[in-house]
Copies of this chain bind each other. A is one copy, B any other.
Amino acid sequence: MALKNAFYAQSGGVTAVINASACGVIETARRHSDRIGKLYAGRNGIIGALTEDLIDTSLESDQAIAALRHTPSGAFGSCRYKLKGLEENRAEYERLIAVFEAHNIGYFFYNGGGDSQDTALKVSQLGERMGYPITCIGIPKTVDNDLPITDCCPGFGSVAKYVAVSTMEAGLDVRSMAETSTKVFVLEVMGRHAGWIAAAAGLAAESEDQPPHVILLPEVPFRKQPFLDAVRRSVERFGYCVIVVSEGIREEDGRFLSDSGSTDAFGHVQLGGVGPIIASMCKRELGYKYHCAVADYLQRAARHVASKTDVDQAYAVGAAAVEMALDGRNAVMPTIVRKRDEPYQWEIGCADLAEVANRERGLPPEYIREDGFGITDACRRYLQPLIQGEDYPPYRNGLPYYVRLKNASVPRRLGDTFTLR
């Protein structure tokens, strides 16, 4: 019997290091070419499997695959496409199995967040039932750091580093301008449900006079007066105030602040999300001149300032996924297990997908300072190791050299087409 091929797909929002996981998967599979046939990637994630649009990674040179380690974003394309429950849209799962069967695929590596781990679990269950057993391994990835069990999620450490570095740098800027100009600086960061990214900005401060002076977390309901008091206090004590706000902060009634229809100082409806709302509130209520940055994709794409720890972990979970598959594990996800805070020591663990799927981990209460506007020492101890180390990409002509793969298609074998919902 021919060797079973493998299928790898990237899912959801991409990160600075998801390609490092791809690199770990592909390099490890290549080292086991006696046991794994070809490694196919889904073009644009799971959609590539559903539409039988597969990429033949065996046509990429070893050098190109190695360069994935320092190339941000999803080299094969990703997608936001959640498979429904088995009962709701069984056709999608059956289609996946049909495509896998047509291409003799025996291994399914799915690199994503909670939803993706759930999909991997279901594919594993359905394959079994349909008489086409397939080894399904989830590979953790999310800048939101919200997967359970694993110490952290690859992708998060680099965003954390970017946000901490940017907060420190912009903070120095505001500090030097505050006497006559900008008194308040607002940085809006990602994190719709969990405040991990905003919390990471707290690493920039070694003492209370240093930025960020106020962190707004989605775990803490936004109350206007205590917030304004904290800003005024900071400006009065230190001359300026740096605020880091998570995009997902909510009012006490649970509504997102960014959905609240707030207007800026001039009565214009805000277009730019929660950062400008917070900034103009400081201007309107306290009279402070402000600047506001919205990091958006820059934060999760910033491979140029990635955390070496994060890159190493992203690669390691990719490599471990293949090793686990070859060890006969199924429906599992490699995890990061913290052995020690300082110096940081970690190793690869293994979690059942059933334990991981669809469970979110928010910032625990003991990581949030009592006033709600900062992080505790416990939080700092947790976060600090994750941004350790630099891992610069190579540069050419002043710019990072990021690889673009050939991404050649695998010839289709199924006659029909599949229409996505």
Contact = CB atoms under 8 A, between A and B. Distances in A.
Contact of A293 (B13, B264, B294): B294
Nearest to A308: B398
Given A172-B301, A271-B273, 18 more contacts: A16-B169, A44-B179, A72-B172, A77-B179, A79-B177, A164-B398, A164-B399, A166-B298, A168-B402, A169-B302, A169-B304, A291-B296, A292-B296, A293-B294, A293-B296, A294-B294, A298-B298, A389-B398
B298 A73 contact: no
A217 interface: no
Contact of A292 (B76, B177, B272): B272
Contact of A399 (B71, B204, B280): B204
A72 B173 contact: yes
A272 B271 contact: no
Given A297-B170, A298-B295, A276 B265 contact: no
A203 interface: yes
A261 interface: yes
A181 B265 contact: yes
B389 A392 contact: no
Interface residues of A, number: 80
Interface in A83-119: none
Contacts of A297: 169-170, 173-174, 185, 291, 293
A165 B305 CA distance: 11
Contacts of A270: 276, 289
B179 A79 contact: yes
Residue of A79, A265, A271, A277 with most partner-chain B CB within 10 A: A271
A74 interface: yes
| 6 nearest A-B pairs in the assembled complex, by CB-CB distance | A74-B176, A271-B276, A293-B296, A387-B398, A73-B172, A169-B301
